[in-house]
A = this chain, B = another copy of it.
């Protein structure tokens, strides 16, 4: 076999189900996608899915928990690196946007359908999310403590940045004019300019 599948672990049926479900959920939403929609996209009968899954909600959980882990794996290392806050934040923006675009449909399902998880999992994913977003709040707070960033509301700035990045799958097209890397650069520029101390050289800021 010379040509490999474009997807990552699409060899097993289980993985195919997750990929197909993710694609359908991301476009139509979890509640508007039936188990039979997923099955027929795989040329299966409705009930046949249950040889591989235990419930529709378990599929949702699988999609969401996996992409949550991808975000953490990609961003936590650069967030906790030894470099300056400015450099760390720029690297985090690149890492986050990379995941958001590479796992576009999974990320969309995460952000749009987490409400439909049942109760132990719903609260768990919110905790994971908060723990992750704390990485951004922390770097911004670090930048202020180090004097690189002006003093302002760090959690609000983190939310501003994160919500803008998380909306990218809603409008991004791989055929569009801008690559993921260019978008990440622009977003980091816009954010950093808003944070960095003006008149950093301490001359010429006496307007």
Contact = CB atoms under 8 A, between A and B. Distances in A.
Interface in A159-199: 159-161, 163-164, 166-168, 170-171, 178, 183, 186-187, 189-195, 198-199
B170 A164 contact: no
Interface string A111-154: 01001100000000000000000000000000000000000110
A29 B201 CA distance: 51
A6 interface: no
A152 B97 CA distance: 19
Interface string A19-46: 0000000001101100000000000000
Given A28-B115, A31-B31, A203 B201 contact: no
Interface of A: 28-29, 31-32, 112, 115-116, 152-153, 156-157, 159-161, 163-164, 166-168, 170-171, 178, 183, 186-187, 189-195, 198-201, 203-205, 207
The 6 A-B residue pairs with the shortest CB-CB distance in the complex, in nearest-first order = A204-B204, A163-B167, A190-B194, A31-B31, A193-B194, A164-B164
